[in-house]
């Protein structure tokens, strides 16, 4: 099986093209209390249909280390109080922020929430330095997605202003190539 991976970036917050605001009680909230159980649940629920497998063998301690890492933030989209999706951001050197994971739970697909959640994720990536004293300002936000991810993932990223800067095709996808966005 051949898998295509696209690497996308945004280098200026002015490039953001906001998605449509959803109706109703939809909130995007940072999970400020590190919870490996919550992060594992979100990863498994969102990634199950997209063959996210790189974290499957992680121990409880590895999950705890990840969510307690000072450069990692987990943001959760709630629809009327119910977790509907999430994004994991990681601050990196030279002002880069990676959207490591991004996606909606299956029951929330097709309801117009993805564009809104990506808009809010990008806004949080661009303001990450404001929440990290001493961190240099964000100069680049990037992610990767692949042909195993949601059918609208690439379109959503490009519609919000992210640009493809690299594309690879592999005969067999490695777990590292399947780590981002549903």
The pLDDT tens digits of the residues spanning 2-26 come to 999 999 999 999 999 999 999 899 9
Q: What is the pLDDT of residue 36?
A: 96
- Give the Cα separation of 42 and 35 in Å (integer): 11
Average predicted confidence (pLDDT) for the chain: 92
Q: What is the pLDDT of residue 29?
A: 98
Q: What is the pLDDT of residue 172?
A: 67
Over residues 145-171, mean pLDDT: 93
- Give the Cα separation of 177 and 181 in Å (integer): 11
In sequence order, what DSSP letters do the residues of the chain get, joined into one string? --EEEEEEEE--GGG--PPPPPSSSEEEEE--S--HHHHHHHHHHHHGGGT--TTTT--HHHHHHHHH-TTEEEEEEEETTEEEEEEEEEEEGGGEEEEEEEEE-GGGTTSSHHHHHHHHHHHHHHTGGGGSTTPPPP-EEEEEEETTS-TTHHHHHHHTT-EEEEEEEESS--GGGG-SB-
> Which domains, and CATH codes, for the chain?
3-178 (3.40.630.30)
pLDDT tens per residue across span 86-126: 999 999 999 999 999 999 999 999 898 999 999 999 999 99
Q: What is the pTM of this model?
A: 0.91
Quick check: 150 pLDDT over 90? no
Reported confidence tier of residue 173, pLDDT bands at 50, 70, 90 = very low
Over residues 61-82, mean pLDDT: 96
Express as a percent the part of the chain with pLDDT over 90: 80
Q: What is the pLDDT of residue 51?
A: 84
Over residues 127-149, mean pLDDT: 93
- Give the Cα separation of 173 and 182 in Å (integer): 15
Q: What is the CA radius of gyration of the chain?
A: 15
Determine the angle formed by the axes of helices 60-68 and 36-47, rounding to 10 degrees. 100
């Amino acid at each position: 099986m051949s898998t295509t991976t696209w690497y996308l970036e945004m280098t200026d917050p002015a490039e953001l093209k906001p998605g449509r605001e959803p109706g109703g009680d939809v909130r995007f909230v940072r999970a400020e209390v590190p919870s490996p159980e919550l992060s594992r649940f979100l990863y498994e629920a969102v990634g199950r249909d997209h063959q996210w497998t790189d974290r499957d063998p992680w121990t409880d301690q590895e999950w705890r280390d990840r969510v307690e890492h000072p450069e990692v933030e987990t943001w959760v989209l709630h629809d009327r109080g119910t977790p509907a999706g999430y994004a994991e951001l990681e601050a990196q050197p030279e002002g880069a922020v990676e959207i490591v994971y991004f996606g909606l739970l299956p029951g929330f697909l097709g309801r117009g929430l993805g564009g809104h959640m990506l808009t809010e994720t990008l806004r949080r990536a661009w303001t990450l330095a404001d929440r990290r004293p001493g961190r240099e300002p964000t100069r680049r936000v990037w992610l990767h997605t692949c042909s195993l991810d949601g059918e609208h993932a690439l379109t959503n990223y490009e519609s919000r202003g992210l640009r493809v800067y690299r594309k690879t095709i592999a005969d067999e996808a490695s777990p590292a190539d399947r780590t981002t966005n549903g």
